[in-house]
A and B are shown apart, each in its own frame.
Chain A
């Protein structure tokens, strides 16, 4: 019985979302708002069990690591954000998080710049390695906006655009396949589980 109710609820919500294909309507709005609420509601006990209990409650009250009262108080300072008079206090926990930006300088330089440059500058043992090098250089040329994209420079940036279009096309193809796969899943649910075709 409870399983049947579940299938009918899921089918109603699935059709409510699909109804947006016609136009925005109350069924879609209801399903959309319910999704936000349920997602948040599902996250609250998870956050409590996986974050608050192991990292705040247990260390302070069970293991007596009282030094962690300081970050807990800092966390509470976030709530001053809602006060006009005391709102400035919410800056302290925020800057505590922002400090990690310092690590971003060497790490992003290493992972996204130096490693990528090293991988791009390989000996041209085959034509594909040359093509990868050409693509990387021409894309970087395209993103250099201090020089007008005209003449010979413009021709190189055009090659960069072609490389990016192929890259975007590949990503687009993957995205389409993932979404179609989900669509097939929902149609199978409606056809087999809800309407009972194929049973």
Chain B
């Protein structure tokens, strides 16, 4: 019963929501807009709290057990505590401690981590070039044309580059995105059906 009742709820809710998409009746609309959405919003903060607890728990246990690289967990825990206290105590308005942390710690770290990927992307491009296959060359040629076409340098070399960029984006790129979107759509439909029919049950977790 510990598994059957949750499965029954998923099947019932799943079928109701499937019907909701086809029945624009007020009862159906109210069921989704005034009941389900409001309840989901009320459940969400507790789910977020679960994530916070989980992260804190992982790092506290790492410190307690003196696991490999446990010292860095202190930085994580201090980061959580100091930033959360600053946010609760002084708010996040401009000039507050929370805003200072955001501008001088969080934002530089986030931007630099993403900037770091520029080097790895360049490395990946080089490896693709080394592969010497026609497909890899096509990929790199498209990338170079698109990059040049979006900056002033491309137009300065020849007006063909911005035109070619526009054509790549609106013709072969559109076809590629559409083909992939069709596959994703069919995959999403199949997965949704597997969930509401009780074939896909991994979200129930282990145990009896």
Write the residues of chain A forming the contact surface with B, with a CB cutoff of 8 angstroms.
Answer: 2, 6-7, 9-10, 13-14, 17-18, 20-21, 29-48, 51-52, 55-56, 59, 68, 70-72, 74-76, 78-79, 81, 84, 87-88, 90-109, 111-113, 116-117, 119-120, 128, 131-136, 138-140, 142-143, 160-180, 182-183, 185-186, 189
Contact assessment for A37 and B78 in the assembled complex, using a CB-CB cutoff below 8 Å = yes
Partner of A132, one of B36, B87, B175: B175
Which residues from A are CB-within-8-Å of B114?
A: 178-179, 182
Which residues from A are CB-within-8-Å of B10?
A: 95, 98-99, 101
Interface size class of B (residues with CB under 8 A): 35 or more
Closest to A70 in B: B39
Report the Cα distance A176→B8, complex, angstroms: 47
Partner of A169, one of B79, B106, B143: B143
Which residues from A are CB-within-8-Å of B3?
A: 88, 91
Which residues from B are CB-within-8-Å of A72?
A: 42-43, 46
Contact assessment for B2 and A75 in the assembled complex, using a CB-CB cutoff below 8 Å = no
The binding surface of chain A is classed by DSSP as: helix
Closest to A20 in B: B116
Contact assessment for B182 and A136 in the assembled complex, using a CB-CB cutoff below 8 Å = yes
Write the residues of chain B forming the contact surface with A, with a CB cutoff of 8 angstroms.
Answer: 2-3, 6-7, 9-10, 12-18, 20-22, 36, 38-50, 52-53, 55, 69, 72-73, 75-84, 86-88, 92, 98, 100-119, 121-122, 125, 135-136, 138-147, 150-151, 167-186, 188-189, 191-193, 195-196, 203-205, 207-208
Which residues from A are CB-within-8-Å of B195?
A: 98, 101
Instruction: List 19 extra interface pairs beyond A93-B47, A105-B18, CB under 8 A.
Output: A6-B100, A35-B110, A43-B48, A44-B88, A45-B87, A55-B38, A75-B43, A94-B204, A96-B9, A96-B39, A97-B47, A102-B14, A103-B21, A105-B21, A105-B196, A135-B176, A142-B179, A180-B118, A186-B111
